[in-house]
Amino acid sequence: MSSPRHFLDLDGMEPDVLRDILSLGAAYKRGETPSGKDLPLSGKTLALIFEKPSTRTRVSFEVGMRQLGGDVTVLGHTDTQLGRGETIADTARVLSRYVDAIMIRTDCHEKLLDLAGHAGVPVINGLTDHSHPCQIMADLMTFEEHRGPVAGKTFAWVGDGNNVAVSWIHAAVKFAFTLRLACPESLSPPSEVLDWAAAQGGAVSLGNDASAAAESADCVITDTWVSMGDQDEKARRAALTPFQVDESLMKSAGEQALFMHCLPAHRGEEVTDGVIDGPWSVVWDEAENRLHAQKGILSWCLQ
Which residues are identified as catalytic?
105, 132, 135, 223, 262, 290
Residue selected from 227, 254, 269, 274 as contacting ligand NVA according to rule CB under 6 A: 227
Select the binding partner of residue 55 from ligand NVA, ligand CP, none (C-beta < 5 to 8 A, by kind): ligand CP
Residue selected from 145, 263, 274, 285 as contacting ligand CP according to rule CB under 6 A: 263
Residue 125 interacts with ligand NVA (CB under 6 A)? no
Query: Contact 126/104 with Cβ under 8 angstroms?
Result: yes
Cα 5 to Cα 15: distance, rounded to the nearest angstrom = 15
Cα dihedral 69, 71, 72, 73 in deg (nearest 10): 180
DSSP assignments along 60-121, one per residue: HHHHHHHHTT-EEEEEEGGGSGGGGT--HHHHHHHHHHH-SEEEEE-S-HHHHHHHHHH-SS
Choices 27-35, 50-58, 232-240, 246-254 (CB under 6 A): range interacting with ligand CP = 50-58
Instruction: Print the binding letters for residues 32-71 with ligand NVA: x by CB under 6 A, - otherwise.
Output: ----------------------------------------
Residue 248: CB minimum distance to ligand CP, A: 26
Residue 231 burial class via C-beta count within 10 angstroms: exposed 0-12, middle 13-18, buried 19 and up: exposed
Residue closer to ligand NVA by CB (options 27, 108) is 108
Residue selected from 55, 87, 216, 248 as contacting ligand CP according to rule CB under 6 A: 55
Cα 232 to Cα 235: distance, rounded to the nearest angstrom = 6
Residues 166-225 that bind ligand NVA (CB under 6 A): 223-224
Residue selected from 131, 163, 289, 299 as contacting ligand NVA according to rule CB under 6 A: 163
Cα dihedral 215, 216, 221, 224 in deg (nearest 10): 20
Query: Contact 190/128 with Cβ under 8 angstroms?
Result: no
Residue selected from 47, 112, 119, 127 as contacting ligand CP according to rule CB under 6 A: 127
Residue 132: CB minimum distance to ligand CP, A: 6
Residue closer to ligand CP by CB (options 221, 262) is 262
How wide is the angle at C-alpha 143 spanned by C-alphas 223 and 149, nearest 5°? Answer: 135
- Residue 114 half-sphere exposure toward CB, CA atoms < 13 A: 11
Select the binding partner of residue 294 from ligand NVA, ligand CP, none (C-beta < 5 to 8 A, by kind): none
Positions that interact with ligand NVA (CB under 6 A)? 127, 162-164, 223-224, 227-228, 262
